[in-house]
A and B are shown apart, each in its own frame.
Chain A
Amino acid sequence: MTEKDSREDILKELFNIGVGQAAGTLSDIIDKKIVLNVPSVKILDIGPGRRELEKFLSQVASGAVMVSIMSFNHQLQGVVSLIFPAEKMHRFIDLCLHEERTETTMGFTDIDYDTIKEVGNIVLNAIIGELSNMIRIPVTYTLPEVCVLDHARAEHFMSDYEYRLILIIMITFDIEGTEIEGAIVVNMTLKSLEDILNAIDGVFHGR
Chain B
Amino acid sequence: MVKILIVDDSKFAQKVTASLIERSLDDVRFDFASDGEEGVNKFRSGHPDFLIVDLLMPKLRGQDLIKKVKEMDRQAKIIVVSADVQTRVEDEVSKMGVLSFINKPLNEEKVKEIADIIRNDVR
Q: Residues of A with Cβ closer than 8 Å to B? A: 21, 25, 28-29, 96-97, 111, 114-115, 117-118, 121-122, 125-126, 129-130, 132-133, 138-139, 141, 143-144
Q: How far is the CA of A138 from the CA of B105 in the complex (A)?
A: 21
Is the Cβ of B83 less than 8 Å from the Cβ of A111?
no
How many interface residues does B have (CB within 8 Å)?
19
In the complex with contacts A28-B105, A139-B86, A118-B10 CB distance below 8 A: yes
Interface of B, secondary structure class, is: loop
Rounded to whole Å, the gap between the CB of A88 and the closest CB of chain B is 18
Extra contacts besides A117-B10, A121-B56, A138-B88 (18): CB < 8 Å:
A111-B12, A114-B11, A114-B12, A115-B10, A121-B10, A122-B104, A125-B83, A125-B84, A126-B83, A126-B85, A129-B83, A129-B85, A129-B86, A133-B85, A133-B86, A138-B89, A141-B56, A143-B56
Q: Chain B residues near A144: list those with CB within 8 A.
A: 56
Rounded to whole Å, the gap between the CB of A134 and the closest CB of chain B is 10
Interface of A, secondary structure class, is: helix
Q: How far is the CA of A91 from the CA of B16 in the complex (A)?
A: 18
Which residues of chain B (54-81) have a CB below 8 Å from chain A? 56-58
Is the Cβ of A111 less than 8 Å from the Cβ of B11?
yes
Decide if B120 is an interface residue (CB 8 Å cutoff). no
Rounded to whole Å, the gap between the CB of A15 and the closest CB of chain B is 14
Q: Chain B residues near A96: list those with CB within 8 A.
A: 12
Q: Chain B residues near A114: list those with CB within 8 A.
A: 10-12
Q: How far is the CA of A144 from the CA of B83 in the complex (A)?
A: 12
Is the Cβ of B105 less than 8 Å from the Cβ of A122?
yes
Is the Cβ of A118 less than 8 Å from the Cβ of B84?
no
Q: How far is the CA of A143 from the CA of B59 in the complex (A)?
A: 10
Q: Chain B residues near A97: list those with CB within 8 A.
A: 12
Q: How far is the CA of A143 from the CA of B10 in the complex (A)?
A: 11
Rounded to whole Å, the gap between the CB of B61 and the closest CB of chain A is 10
